[in-house]
Amino acid sequence: MKMELHFAILLLILISTYMTGILFIKTHEIDIKQELKNPNVVAKLQDLGDARPTPVIILTYARSGSSFLGDIIRQAEEVFYVFEPLHFLDHHIHLDRLTFFNGTSRNSYQYSILVNNIISSILTFQLMNLPLEFWHGKFDDMHGYQLQTFLTKFKSERTARYSKQMEFEFTIESLQVECLKSKFVVIKTIRASLFLVQGLFSQLERLKILHLVRDPRPTIISQKIYINDFDSVSDYAANLCFRILNDISMSNLLTVLYPSSIVRIRYEILTTKPVDTSKNIYQLLNLTFTKRIQNVIWKKTSSGISGEGPLNTVKGNSVKMVNKWRLSANYSFVKSIDMKCKYLYQKLGYIQISDIDMLKNTSVSLFLP
């Protein structure tokens, strides 16, 4: 009885949080949407009807394998892929005002509102809604495979785009046209939580979210350059695992409201069974899985050829990569993470490490099948 009451209270809290998020987002998006919508693009979307591209968000956390997952999905010719569109916020979130193509400038939104507008503008092809700071920032370094042609033109007109506003706008409109030729538009981001994007479900039909989760221990170890002592390790682990747990709770609620809209993918399964898992993801999204794509995945995961870079995620042998962190990890460091994340392990099926022998023995799995 107590467990049922606890569950009911938790469900009410989540529903209240969800509805608050929708109302908050909707009340803050009206002004920019009404003034900046591109009528030509809107008309084109109306003509497409149900044939309009399906929006997909790959949502995860830094150093959790999202570039690898995005690299797999962007191989499909039907996909228009955008890599980390929120990256520019790292440099521009401190600005008091943002500027737009129509000549207006506005007070910067709260982060949640800004994230919602940027993601929805891309997924609905309203690229003219994006602030100029987005285009003047690090967009050159954030492109996906399908943006190569556009970026070649974009970079060649680097000077013109500042001095000739009309020519720059024409370039952006050309990109919108390219978007509309795709069957899917996919965004990969580590800078948004499910709470920040949940309001998009009421705006975008057929929205899919691929929620990628990974053992927090290698994730945090790969970021330890930012962590200096035991206390900060504990704090960092607590914050990350709390964020992941919140996303899991929100995804459970959203799955009830929007069945089959959110799919949780475990990084360890993706990397140890890359072809089978990729086939399942392609089937889920109704993408065409070809022999060429299968060969690309094999090269990235089993060929023994390593590579680097956000759009070159070849790791040579992905099975070995899953456990590589265990060989060099410090046990006390790992133990401090386990102390703060054990409640998350229970949700995701990860296993606490009891001693240094268990840590170093890579034949012992750290997650339940």
pLDDT at res. 23:
44
Confidence band for 16, pLDDT divided at 50, 70 and 90: low
Rounded alpha-carbon distances, angstroms, from residue 242 to 37, 183, 308, 334, 351: 37, 35, 30, 17, 17
Contact partners, residue 348, CB within 8 Å, separation at least 6? 213, 244, 248, 266, 367
pLDDT(32) > 50: no
pLDDT at res. 311:
46
Percent of the chain residues topping a pLDDT of 90: 44
Nearest to 136 by CA among 186, 178, 179, 101: 101
Contact present, 93 and 301 (Cβ < 8 Å): no
Q: Per-residue pLDDT averaged across 231-236, rounded?
A: 86
Residue 260 gets the label, from left (phi > 0), alpha (psi -120 to 50) or beta, of left
Rounded alpha-carbon distances, angstroms, from residue 248 to 42, 197, 263: 34, 14, 11
pLDDT in tens, 68-86: 999 999 999 889 898 899 9
pLDDT in tens, 283-322: 999 999 999 999 999 988 876 555 554 445 555 566 777 8
- The residue extents of the domains of the chain are 11-214+261-287
pLDDT in tens, 102-119: 788 877 667 888 888 899
Q: State the pTM of this model.
A: 0.82
- Pairwise pLDDT comparison (293 vs 6), residue with the higher score: 293
Q: Quickly count: other Cβ atoms within 10 Å of residue 350's Cβ.
A: 23
pLDDT at res. 239:
94
Confidence band for 42, pLDDT divided at 50, 70 and 90: low
pLDDT in tens, 122-155: 998 888 888 888 887 666 665 555 566 666 666 6
Contact present, 139 and 88 (Cβ < 8 Å): yes
- Pairwise pLDDT comparison (36 vs 194), residue with the higher score: 194
pLDDT at res. 177:
79
pLDDT(53) > 80: yes
pLDDT at res. 15:
54
pLDDT at res. 284:
94
Q: Per-residue pLDDT averaged across 356-369, rounded?
A: 92
pLDDT at res. 122:
92
Confidence band for 31, pLDDT divided at 50, 70 and 90: very low
Confidence band for 164, pLDDT divided at 50, 70 and 90: low
What secondary structure, in 3-state letters, does the chain show? Answer: CHHHHHHHHHHHHHHHHHHHHHHHHHHHHHHHHHHHCCHHHHHHHHHHHHHCCEEEEEECCCCCCHHHHHHHHCCCCCEEEEECCCCCHHHHCCCCEEECCCCCEEECCCHHHHHHHHHHHHHCCCHHHCCHHHHHCCHHHCECHHHHHHHHHHHHCCCHHHHCHHHHHHHHHHHHHHHHCCCEEEEEECCCCHHHHHHHHHCCCCCEEEEEECCHHHHHHCCHHHCCCHHHHHHHHHHHHHHHHHHHHHHHHHHHHCCCCEEEEEHHHHHHCHHHHHHHHHHHHCCCCCHHHHHHHHHHHHCCCECCCCCCCCECCHHHHHHHHHHHCCHHHHHHHHHHHHHHHHHHCECCCCCHHHHHCCCCCCECC
Q: Where does residue 308 rank: exposed (0-12), middle (13-18), buried (19+ CB within 10 A)?
A: exposed
Confidence band for 30, pLDDT divided at 50, 70 and 90: very low
pLDDT in tens, 260-272: 999 999 999 999 9
pLDDT at res. 162:
52
Q: Quickly count: other Cβ atoms within 10 Å of residue 275's Cβ.
A: 16
Round the average pLDDT of the chain to a whole number and report it.
80
Give the long-range contacts of residues 24-32, CB within 8 A, separation 24 or more.
24/112, 24/113, 24/199, 25/112, 25/113, 25/116, 25/199, 26/199, 26/202, 28/109, 28/110, 28/113, 29/113, 29/116, 29/117, 29/120, 31/106, 32/100, 32/106, 32/117, 32/129
Q: Per-residue pLDDT averaged across 221-232, rounded?
A: 76
Percent of the chain residues topping a pLDDT of 70: 70
pLDDT(18) > 80: no
pLDDT at res. 50:
62
